[in-house]
Chain A
């Protein structure tokens, strides 16, 4: 049985969400919800089955992001994430893989015409 639209979207996202997170903080550090906001602004409204927090935890544990605390808008200090040097290298490598994979899929699906 074919996956539903939501399942397919979730599966596609799962493989690249770490890259998306690194991408949205590459130049500008952000706290968790701010990252969610940036993803939404770029069209990734939901992350499907999983939130970004466990993934952020893994990125932090693997040294791909660095964290620091900073006050924001008079509220309590927030935990900010920024891409580490290692994270930037991982992002560059992941981008190359993603683009190669996308090109290959496009080569298969791009010429396909479906008569519904």
Chain B
């Protein structure tokens, strides 16, 4: 096989171009170069400057044909969300005690949650937004739920990534759409908010952190 064609094949294999398409392009190129050689021409006469860089040539050809798969952009975010989720599961369980309507009787709990979250978010370079009662734009969210809680990530056009800490009571009882329950934060126990900087490190600075605090807050 022509060395140039062999180099193209290796590049197409590396780019995971479907074998059938790679075979077709290789056969086409090899036959054309053979014709050119019969006419007394070199590969450079046929391919121009690209003959000197067969890998770039192979890449350009496959890309223009639409054969090079684009990387799934949401995957890293999903993985990041899963990692953060694993780190905060224990703490978030404290937030999942949801069925007790404690909010009106212990408003300081909410204040503490918001205040603590704000501090942690600021340290992580995030803007905190407290969401009351329901996940906004639920259709836009991909929910990862491991029973106790969920960290939800999404990418917004023109904005940074958003992480949402959602108590299990919301995700399990309302399907991450509308919550009919509340949850509490228990000071003195495992500090789930201490995990927020980890979340922050996985989103770009200047991003937004949403903390869902329950539907019946004043």
Contacts and interface: CB of A to CB of B under 8 A. Distances in A.
Contacts of B24: 79
B31 to A, nearest CB: 6
Interface stretch (A31-39, A89-97, A100-108): A31-39
A50 interface: yes
Given A32-B28, A76-B31, A57 B50 contact: no
Contacts of A51: 46-48, 50-51, 57
Q: Which of A36, A53, A75, A78 has the most CB of B within 10 A?
A: A53
B48 A50 contact: yes
Interface in B23-59: 24-25, 27-29, 31-33, 35-36, 39, 45-51, 57
A78 B46 CA distance: 17
A36 B61 contact: no
B35 A57 contact: no
Q: Give the bracket for the number of chain B residues in contact with chain A.
A: 20 to 34
Contacts of B45: 46
B29 A53 contact: yes
Q: Which of B45, B50, B57, B64 has the most CB of A within 10 A?
A: B64
The 4 closest A-B pairs by CB, nearest first: A57-B65, A33-B32, A57-B64, A51-B47
10 contacts: A33-B32, A36-B36, A36-B46, A49-B49, A50-B49, A51-B48, A54-B57, A58-B65, A79-B24, A79-B27
